[in-house]
């Protein structure tokens, strides 16, 4: 029986379910050798989460450039590049010796994509821009919410309402983004792509790549040098950290598997060296930026104020405004223009202290991870976090928040 594999994002729901399952079970197995990896379902956070379950991102100091035939700068983690260079060298030898077809996606091997420029921080900035537009143009514009924002206090109340609406489907923090479906797995620095194709088109993945004459040799040589193939992107090489050969490349760069994520990556909630750019700071700067931009682009808010007026009725031609039976009340409204509060960043920091931001951060992280705490539970954890912060330092307070919410 012929198994049809031609699922795409635009396929109708019923047909897509069947087609996606056909690719899942018959497209390219992950079991056996050479090894393949399923980053859609089985290992979605590969290279973006450490053994403790913390969101991580690569330190750029460990990146090196991949030798390519083009002038484009393509980078990956140093030992991954070493492995790719040796893999490509051996694979090209197979071609010179006549073992490969001269046509097809694997006829000539060259890196076309690696670590995305700017990495996690650039990815987060782009995501924040999308959040900003969604908050200002969609959320605040609905039901005239924007006119309710006239001060920092009203802005914060509105943003919490926005967070309640968006979470956990759409993350807000950098850590939440890293471990979400909106993150680019290439930010790990552990992956290199040798072709460009539609990740959502199972037909292309199966017919053009998996069934290509050269693909079995491509997989075999890749595995020999410590790479896995991405099941859902057969043109993507993924460093197999458990491979003895890949660990050999690690050792040559002064790295080891047991300390790789501690020495080469940052835990997102802590940020970089000396906690620079930690999640709490990123959140604070982002919210100030939104408010400041709103005030600059829309200095005033428009609100309606209801006005009550009393008037008199006549009885027998005599006016009696004091008679409750004869008096009546009319209601009208008047539009008022309210100038929004202008706040400097110094004022912003004085108004909301570090504890406020850690409390806000814990609230958002809990929502991102689907925690269903009661108000009492949240308040108890907040008190505990404050105790840790006062008794120890911000590092331990951040660790407490991370451990409680992840």
CB 3 within 8 A of CB 203: no
260-291 per-residue burial string, b: 16 or more CB within 10 A, e: under 16:
bbeebbbbbbbbeeebebbbbebbbebbbebb
Structure token digits, residue 73: 């700068």
Q: State yes or no: pLDDT of 313 exceeds 50.
A: no
Share of residues in the chain with pLDDT > 70 (%): 85
Q: With bands split at pLDDT 50, 70 and 90, how would you rate the model's confidence at 328?
A: low
Q: State yes or no: pLDDT of 135 exceeds 80.
A: yes
Question: Whose CA is closest to 186, among 224, 230, 220, 242?
Answer: 230
Q: With bands split at pLDDT 50, 70 and 90, how would you rate the model's confidence at 203?
A: confident
Cis peptide before 168 (omega within 30 of 0): yes
pLDDT of residue 13: 46
Q: State yes or no: pLDDT of 324 exceeds 70.
A: no
Task: List, in order, residues 6 or more apart from 170 with CB less than 8 Å away.
Answer: 131, 182
Instruction: Specify which residues 192 forms β-bridges with.
Output: 237
Which phi-psi region, left, alpha or beta, contains residue 147 (left: φ > 0; alpha: ψ -120 to 50)? alpha
CB 44 within 8 A of CB 230: no
Picking from 56-70, 101-115, 138-152, 326-340, which range would have the lowest pLDDT averaged per residue? 326-340
CB 153 within 8 A of CB 159: no
CB 137 within 8 A of CB 329: no
Question: Whose CA is closest to 87, among 103, 110, 104?
Answer: 110
Instruction: Specify which residues 52 forms β-bridges with.
Output: none
pLDDT of residue 275: 87
**pLDDT tens-place string over residues 5-38:** 554 555 544 445 555 666 666 666 666 667 899 9
Share of residues in the chain with pLDDT > 90 (%): 75
Structure token digits, residue 59: 């330190």
Task: Please state, rounded to an integer, the average pLDDT across all residues of the chain.
Answer: 88
Residues 136, 126, 280: CA angle, nearest 5 degrees: 80
pLDDT of residue 304: 72
207-217 per-residue burial string, b: 16 or more CB within 10 A, e: under 16:
ebbbebebbeb
User: How many whole angstroms separate alpha carbon 157 and alpha carbon 152?
Assistant: 9
User: How many whole angstroms separate alpha carbon 206 and alpha carbon 183?
Assistant: 24
**pLDDT tens-place string over residues 146-185:** 999 999 999 999 999 999 999 999 999 999 999 999 999 9
Q: State yes or no: pLDDT of 394 exceeds 80.
A: yes
Q: With bands split at pLDDT 50, 70 and 90, how would you rate the model's confidence at 129?
A: very high
**pLDDT tens-place string over residues 287-305:** 999 999 999 999 998 877 6
Q: State yes or no: pLDDT of 61 exceeds 80.
A: yes
User: How many whole angstroms separate alpha carbon 161 and alpha carbon 168?
Assistant: 13
Q: State yes or no: pLDDT of 312 exceeds 90.
A: no
CB 312 within 8 A of CB 322: no
pLDDT of residue 21: 67
Cis peptide before 34 (omega within 30 of 0): yes
Q: State yes or no: pLDDT of 315 exceeds 60.
A: no
Q: State yes or no: pLDDT of 326 exceeds 50.
A: no
């Amino acid at each position: 029986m012929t198994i049809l594999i031609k699922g795409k994002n635009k396929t109708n729901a019923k047909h897509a379910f069947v087609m996606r399952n056909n690719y899942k079970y018959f497209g390219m197995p992950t079991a056996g050798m050479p090894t393949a990896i399923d980053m859609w379902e089985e290992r979605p956070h590969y290279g973006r989460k450490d053994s403790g379950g913390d969101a991580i991102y690569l330190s750029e100091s460990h990146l090196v450039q991949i030798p390519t035939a083009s002038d484009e700068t393509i980078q990956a983690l140093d030992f991954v590049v070493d492995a790719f260079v040796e893999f490509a060298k051996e694979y090209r030898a197979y071609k010179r010796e006549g073992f490969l077809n001269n046509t097809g996606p694997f006829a000539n091997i060259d890196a076309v994509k690696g670590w995305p420029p700017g990495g996690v921080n650039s990815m987060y900035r782009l995501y924040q821009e999308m959040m900003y537009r969604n908050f200002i143009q969609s959320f605040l514009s609905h039901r005239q919410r924007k006119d309710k924002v006239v001060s920092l206090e009203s802005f914060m109340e509105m943003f919490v309402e926005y967070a309640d609406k968006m979470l956990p489907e759409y993350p807000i923090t950098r850590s939440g983004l890293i471990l979400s479906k909106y993150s680019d797995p290439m930010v790990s620095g552990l992956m290199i792509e040798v072709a460009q194709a539609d990740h959502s088109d199972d037909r292309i993945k199966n017919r053009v790549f998996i069934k290509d004459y050269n693909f079995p040799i491509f997989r075999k040589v890749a595995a020999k040098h410590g790479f896995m193939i991405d099941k859902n992107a057969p043109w993507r090489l993924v460093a197999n950290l458990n491979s003895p050969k890949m660990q050999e490349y690690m050792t040559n760069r002064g790295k080891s598997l047991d300390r790789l994520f501690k020495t080469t990556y940052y835990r997102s909630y802590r940020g970089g060296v000396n906690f620079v750019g930690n999640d709490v700071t990123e959140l604070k700067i982002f919210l100030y930026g939104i408010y400041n931009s709103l005030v600059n682009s829309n200095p005033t808010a428009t609100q309606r104020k209801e006005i009550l007026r009393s008037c008199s009725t006549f009885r027998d031609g005599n006016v009696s405004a004091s008679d409750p039976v004869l008096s009546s009340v009319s209601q009208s409204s008047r539009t008022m223009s309210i100038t929004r509060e202008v706040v400097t960043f110094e004022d912003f920091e004085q108004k909301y202290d570090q504890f406020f931001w850690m409390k806000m951060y814990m609230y958002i992280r809990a929502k991102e991870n689907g925690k269903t705490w009661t108000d009492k539970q949240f308040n108890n954890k907040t008190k505990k976090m404050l105790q840790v912060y006062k008794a120890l330092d911000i590092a331990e307070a951040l660790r407490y928040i991370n451990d409680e919410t992840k």
